[in-house]
Structure 1
């Protein structure tokens, strides 16, 4: 599936134009936030078309829809990040208070500091969970068009337990890290934006494939039961 994903951005006529537009948005988005909104909208469109069985990347058109979808996609990602961020912040505050209390000779200082470290550990765990489940949440948003669908814990957890989803997410993040990593290094010569965008499109293709096949498997299992 990974090899298929790496070929996906090149399929169909006009793919060079699509990559060029996405690369410009990626490059400008590194300086200002606004271009990242339609870029996220495009990636949501990749999720939608792939989950519907289309094997070619969509075009950059309907810019108003791209902005709306991008804002919704960003909202979902921010929502999933809130708990890890809050736990990390609380951990720093509690741990710092514990250190301060220890310096002041308070007996509870060490205990409070330990609690802070527990909160930071929980932050790391919830962050990993969010990174794992956000692709499913975004794919549900793309398929249904409903923001509430991105927070359907039962459906998302059911797909998340399927091996095909695990494999797809791992492969997607491998593609994202490797391809965009090369792009980040090359950004100094402006070519890197192409790699970054290309890697994102390949990864989102894998996200959609993994969730779609996993949710289909979950539905089949439910039906046979």
Structure 2
């Protein structure tokens, strides 16, 4: 899974152009918010394609709806923001409660306890967020709605699935590799300029892993692919029509229609 994810953006004849454009988005993104949303929207499109089973054709910038990608990235940012604020709120209650209580009774020890407890709760919250957020993102893509990111049933079932947990770990490994490579390259000016392109390829790999993990885990839990029915399917209709035409032709050749034959389409 990791190897395939790292090779994902190198597929196709225009892979270099695709990576260059993706990396260039992060340069103005350091000062402007909109390119970051567009970048994130592209990653969601990667997730949508891989989740649907297309692992050989990364989205091309020339075919992309940039406005649509930006809106998707913005909506996903809302999901991430809500989860992040929830972690800060849960960690902040014991932190500020004990710190202010210690200040009120002039107890430095109680304030220190508040800092330690708050820090511990925050750490646990961050770890929980690292597990929950990939599932929330996957369901956001599946439903194409902000509400999908907070579907408690899917979060409960898929987050605890072993396949999804393995994907979370693999995504974490890729993230560490990306950070290490970026840090090494950042030592020199030329290497520093290459970092955004490494980040683009690395983020694509992470979303690739998340989407495969979510797809397999969702199918294990619910018995159908997460994007089942999206866009419709003509397979069964086509097959039935072909069978009907064959039956009709056979009947004509035999000089009539067999009364015992039933048209299954109706």
Work out whether the TM-score is over 0.5.
yes
2:85 to 82, 92, 117: 82
- How far is the alpha carbon of 1:111 from its aligned partner? 4.9
Residues 48 and 143 of structure 1 are in contact (CA less than 8 Å); yes or no, is this contact kept in structure 2? yes
Which ranges in structure 1 are unaligned for 5 or more consecutive residues? Answer: none
| Distance in 1, Cα, partners of 2:217 & 2:111 | 42
Which ranges in structure 2 are unaligned for 5 or more consecutive residues? Answer: 225-266
Q: Which has the higher mean CA deviation after the structures are superposed, 141-150 or 174-183?
A: 174-183
| Distance in 1, Cα, partners of 2:133 & 2:118 | 22
Residue matched to 1:22: 22
Residue matched to 1:38: 38
Cα RMSD of the aligned pairs, angstroms, is 2.1
- How far is the alpha carbon of 1:91 from its aligned partner? 4.1
| Distance in 2, Cα, partners of 1:128 & 1:135 | 12
For residues 145-172 of structure 1, give each alpha carbon's deviation from its aligned partner in whole angstroms, at most 9, with x where no partner exists: 1211110111122111111111111111
| Distance in 1, Cα, partners of 2:65 & 2:123 | 38
3-state SS of 2:223 partner: helix
1:216 to 219, 225, 231: 219
For residues 49-78 of structure 1, give each alpha carbon's deviation from its aligned partner in whole angstroms, at most 9, with x where no partner exists: 110011121122111101110101111111
> What TM-score, normalized by structure 2, do the two folds share?
0.75
> What TM-score, normalized by structure 1, do the two folds share?
0.87
3-state SS of 2:31 partner: coil
- How far is the alpha carbon of 1:177 from its aligned partner? 2.0
Q: Which segments of structure 1 move beyond 6 Å, counting only runs of 4 or more? A: none
- How far is the alpha carbon of 1:20 from its aligned partner? 0.7
Residues 180 and 195 of structure 1 are in contact (CA less than 8 Å); yes or no, is this contact kept in structure 2? no
- How far is the alpha carbon of 1:34 from its aligned partner? 2.4
Q: How many residues align?
A: 217
Residue matched to 2:228: none
| Distance in 1, Cα, partners of 2:20 & 2:109 | 55
Residue matched to 2:261: none
Residue matched to 2:151: 152
